[in-house]
Amino acid sequence: MTDRQFSLLIDGQPHSGAGSFDVVNPATGEPFARCPKADEALLNQAVAAARAAFPAWAARPAPERAALVERLADGIEARAGELAGLLTAEQGKPLDQAMYEVMGATFVLRAFAAMRVEDKVLRDEGGNQVIEHRTPLGVVAAIMPWNFPIILLMNKLGPALVTGNTMVAKPAPTTPLTTLAIGEIARDILPPGVLNIICDENDLGAALTSHSDVAKVAFTGSTATGIKVMQSGAAGLKRMTLELGGNDAAIVLDDVDPVEAARKIYGGAMANAGQICVAIKRAYVPAQMYDAFCDELARLARDAVVDDGDKQGAQIGPVQNRMQFDKIRALLDHARANGTILAGGTPLDRPGYFIPPTIVRDLDDDAPLVREEQFGPVLPVMRYDNIEEVIARANDSEHGLGGSVWGRDLSRATAVARQVNSGTVWVNQYLAIDANIPFRGAKMSGIGSELGEAGLHEYTQAHVINAVAFEAG
Ligand code: NAD
């Protein structure tokens, strides 16, 4: 156990919490640190602090707010090595990927610091001027999952702060520590109350999302929890962005080399041990190249270095928590009985939650591994015979987050991409997420946008001023 102490952040002050809980290193399965825990009274204090800080923060000129967001990015960058080490310890991802997440978080903050909400003149003719301007909403509750705890916080913090809102942030209970360490940095940069951080054991979400002084909920997590969040915010008609689960299909067209396509798709399925909302979660391949494609994927999976993220050379770390580990094991048991496992398939015989990259073929579309979001390093590969059929199969999902199409003929691949019903479809690439490009889910994968100008606007109320001259008579 580390003896490092972590604190909540409430009204600019460190707070030791109303109790504490263990944080487990998924590479060992053992606790390695204690995390302070809030209760409802501390949650109320955090919301009250954010509410009290709101008028002065909203009144500050946008360039000043943006400058402080930039300073936060600088502060995070200055401690990137330490933050990445902590992220690996609690989340499991290999150190280089943890560093990539921490540095990615600074890029997101800087991208939002460069954005502004501008007045829009909707009409200016015949003495009638109509202007739409945008005002901040108030206190934002930001709730994060455990797969990318830092970047998903910054996707919310950047636009919220730049547009003049204040925030109460709540990380997932299994990955709270790097967020608290960033709170230490923010404490010296942001005015008290502008950012508050509380932790829970999955027990304070509803109190936060239904709080009468919370104006907006920015939530990333599973679809099941997203539905609860929407219900609990309904009474207050809270503004919401819900970034939820996905079951992204990769459609391989018949004009690519199957071995090359397998190499590209492998990374999209296995990065972060498959625990990415927009990881490739099922692949559809023309029947004539099915064997070659599956065999190359299996070769890559067998060659992967699966190890503690702290170890030099590790490519795939453990699954983040016990519950997820058990869920993937159950999916593998079903896949073993109903399909063919070409590589992986069995957890490593060592402590921690290690599942090696696994390739499964010959499953039906109705197998749980194909229908459900596996959120782990396991890829099912299905064959198809014609393009209309495969588009229908890709769209036959309650989810619609991302997706990808792989083909040499770009216009044909793009035409297929247009028919995939999801928020984003990549062509010949994956995970091309960019702070300047909006990201959103279709169907049960979410509501509202994160990132880009659309993501910035989600933190504002549009306000129309429609004026004509006062005329006598
Ligand atoms: P989860 O839904 O279990 O938890 C997410 C967060 O919600 C946690 O902080 C949790 O404590 C909190 N929470 C739990 N109950 C709550 C309640 N009743 N009210 C409010 N908050 C509550 O999700 P997870 O298992 O941590 O994350 C994995 C899921 O997140 C996957 O489905 C993945 O696809 C999704 N995800 C989506 C995106 C996206 O951008 N669409 C990005 C990353 C992850």
- CB of 205 sitting under 6 A from ligand 1: yes
Ligand 1 centroid, distance to 446 Cα (angstroms): 12
Q: What percent of the chain has pLDDT over 90?
A: 99
Q: What percent of the chain has pLDDT over 70?
A: 100
- CB of 373 sitting under 6 A from ligand 1: yes
Question: Which one of 140, 153, 222 would you pick to mutate in the ligand 1 pocket, going by the greatest count of ligand atoms within 8 A of its CB?
Answer: 222
For 55-94, write each residue's pLDDT tens digit. Answer: 999 999 999 999 999 999 999 999 999 999 999 999 999 9
User: What is the per-residue pLDDT for 472?
Assistant: 84
Dist. CA 416–CA 437, nearest whole Å: 21
Domains and CATH numbers, the chain: 8-244+445-464 (3.40.605.10), 248-427 (3.40.309.10)
The confidence band for 1, taking pLDDT boundaries of 50, 70 and 90, is confident
The yes-or-no verdict on residue 473 having pLDDT over 80 is no
Question: Which one of 225, 323, 375 would you pick to mutate in the ligand 1 pocket, going by the greatest count of ligand atoms within 8 A of its CB?
Answer: 225
Specify whether the CB–CB gap between 435 and 112 falls below 8 A.
Answer: yes
Cα–Cα separations (whole angstroms), residue 403 to 152, 278, 279, 280, 325: 20, 7, 9, 7, 24
Nearest protein Cα to ligand 1, atom 40 = 243
- CB of 92 sitting under 6 A from ligand 1: no
- Residues marked active site are found at 243
231 residue type, one letter: Q
Mean of pLDDT values over 302-306: 97
In this structure, what are the phi and psi dihedrals at residue 460, rounded to the nearest 5 degrees?
-135, 160
User: What is the per-residue pLDDT for 97?
Assistant: 97
For 256-303, write each residue's pLDDT tens digit. Answer: 999 999 999 999 999 999 999 999 999 999 999 999 999 999 999 999
For 19-30, write each residue's pLDDT tens digit. Answer: 999 999 999 999
135 residue type, one letter: T
Q: Which three-class secondary structure string do you get for 427-456?
A: ECCCCCCCCCCCEECEECCEECEECHHHHH
Instruction: Round the average pLDDT of the chain to a whole number and report it.
Output: 97
Mean of pLDDT values over 373-391: 98
